[in-house]
Amino acid sequence: MISFPVIAYPQIGPDLIALGPIHIRWYGIMYIVGFVAGYFLIQKQERSRQIGLVGTMAQDFIFYLAVGVIIGGRLGYVVFYQYHEYLYYLKNPLEIIATWHGGMSFHGGMIGAAVAGWIFSRRRKLPFLAVADSATVTAPLGLGFGRIGNFINAELWGRPSDVPWAMVFPDAGPLPRHPSQLYESLLEGFLLFAILWTLRRKPFGDGMMIAFFMIFYGIFRFFLEFFREPDPQIGFLLGFLTMGQLLCFAMVLSGVILAAYIHRTQPARTG
């Protein structure tokens, strides 16, 4: 029997400021905080200074990343989580870019950021793996703040639970649920940032931070998906796995392959 939650869901509301048609939402603020933190932390890394990823160069890089994350996140959501609605999107192509309707995919955002980083590196004639490493180390902070935004929006809630900290989320039915957004914020966000920020000082070749991110994030997210309610339009795949878990399995495997490749081909470096 699931008991009534001890902790009440805080009714914060999605808007920080609402003035007529102007809405400044917490979720958008969390994105901005993540990118601002990334801008400063990228420049604090020795490897960034070695390749010139500071000042206006860092500003341009953050702009590229922001565009890549938004475009990739939205396209990823449509491709990975709305594939059964492809006829709708073919008839209404503008809905593909309608981010204001909700729906962003982390895995799509990661791919979009990687493409944007590659384009940036080519245009600025910088080593792509070193550039990507500098950004990847800071990425978990943005993820951590973003999950807090999900919690404030009362979206992407967890599965029903009787743990003492379970909450009844608006529009999620009467049952108390795991605040899985906060679990993800802590593990995929702030803990992963602490791990990568520490590992960046080790003598690894360029690209190893990307591999570590893919491996650790994939493991954390795969585990936490057992506490998160599956996307209703998809449900479970293969009987017990979610789409997020399948994507994370591919992510971990890719990270291991990348780590092995870098270990064999890249010289160790410091900074």
What are the residue boundaries of the structural domains of the chain, listed by start? Answer: 15-155+173-265
Asked if residues 205 and 131 have their Cβ atoms less than 8 Å apart, the reply is no
Please give the torsion angle defined by the CA atoms of residues 193, 195, 199 and 201, in that order, rounded to the nearest 10 degrees: 60
- Where residue 271 falls among pLDDT bands split at 50, 70, 90? very low
Q: Is the dihedral of CA 143, 148, 153, 158 positive or negative?
A: positive
Average pLDDT on 14-35 reads 82
Give the chain's mean pLDDT: 88
Range with top average pLDDT, 96-100, 177-181, 229-233: 177-181
What single letter denotes the amino acid at residue 168?
V
- Residue 158's SS3 state is strand
- Chain centroid, CA 37 distance in Å: 15
Nearest to 244 by CA among 118, 158, 136, 173: 158
Instruction: Reply yes or no on whether the pLDDT at 200 is more than 60.
Output: yes
What's the half-sphere exposure (Cβ side, CA atoms, 13 Å) at 104?
23
Dig out the tokens for 55 from the structure: 């000042």
- Tens of pLDDT, residues 213-251: 999 999 999 999 999 999 877 888 888 899 889 999 999
Average pLDDT over residues 132-159: 93
Residues 256, 144: Cα–Cα separation, whole Å: 24
Using pLDDT thresholds of 50, 70 and 90, give the confidence band for residue 151.
very high
pLDDT for position 197: 96
Closest CA relative to residue 51, chosen from 143, 132, 164, 139: 132
**DSSP β-bridge partners for residue 22:** 19
- 79: Cα within 13 Å, side-chain hemisphere: 13
User: Once rounded to an integer, what is the mean pLDDT over residues 155-184?
Assistant: 93
pLDDT recorded at residue 176: 93
According to DSSP, residue 269 is labeled -
Of 90 and 100, the one with more pLDDT: 90
Backbone φ and ψ of 102, nearest 5°: 90, 160
DSSP letter (8 states) at residue 52:
T
Instruction: Please state the rounded mean pLDDT for residues 102-114.
Output: 84
Distance CA 34, CA 113 (A): 14
Question: What token pair was written down for 264?
Answer: 């064999």
